Amino acid sequence: MTRKLIYCDESGEASFSPKSEFKYFDGYIETMLFKKAIAEGVSMNSVIRHEESHMSYGLQAVDFFAWSIYRAKNNQDRRFIKIFDHLVENKEEWYC
């Protein structure tokens, strides 16, 4: 069963699911991070917080970066990913 993090009502208004729904997403992210850390012999701790992007310039930057990858992979629109091409070395691990 797929869980949605964003829901739309009859009027088309979007809203986030209750915070309890985020635990599934958080678990996935933690599993992927710890799996990679163990494979590389790195010890780590993690804290996942959910914040509004308009409150964090860093989150806005990461959101733009992720969106540019999505546009390049799914729409063959490389206008935005070209901004980051020279800054990223390992492109094989980019996911959409």
**pLDDT tens digits, one per residue of 39-90:** 999 888 888 877 888 888 998 998 999 899 889 888 999 999 899 888 887 6
What local confidence, expressed as pLDDT, does residue 4 receive?
46
- Over residues 21-47, the mean pLDDT reads 84
What local confidence, expressed as pLDDT, does residue 45 receive?
83
What local confidence, expressed as pLDDT, does residue 17 receive?
54
What local confidence, expressed as pLDDT, does residue 20 receive?
58
Phi, psi of 88 (to 5 degrees): -115, 125
**Helix extents (H) in 1-96:** 19-39, 57-75
2 residue type, one letter: T
What local confidence, expressed as pLDDT, does residue 80 receive?
92
Asked whether 6 and 15 are in contact (CB, 8 A), the reply is yes
What local confidence, expressed as pLDDT, does residue 96 receive?
42
Neighbouring residues of 80: CB distance < 8 A, sequence distance ≥ 6: 64, 67, 68, 71, 72
- Over residues 23-46, the mean pLDDT reads 85
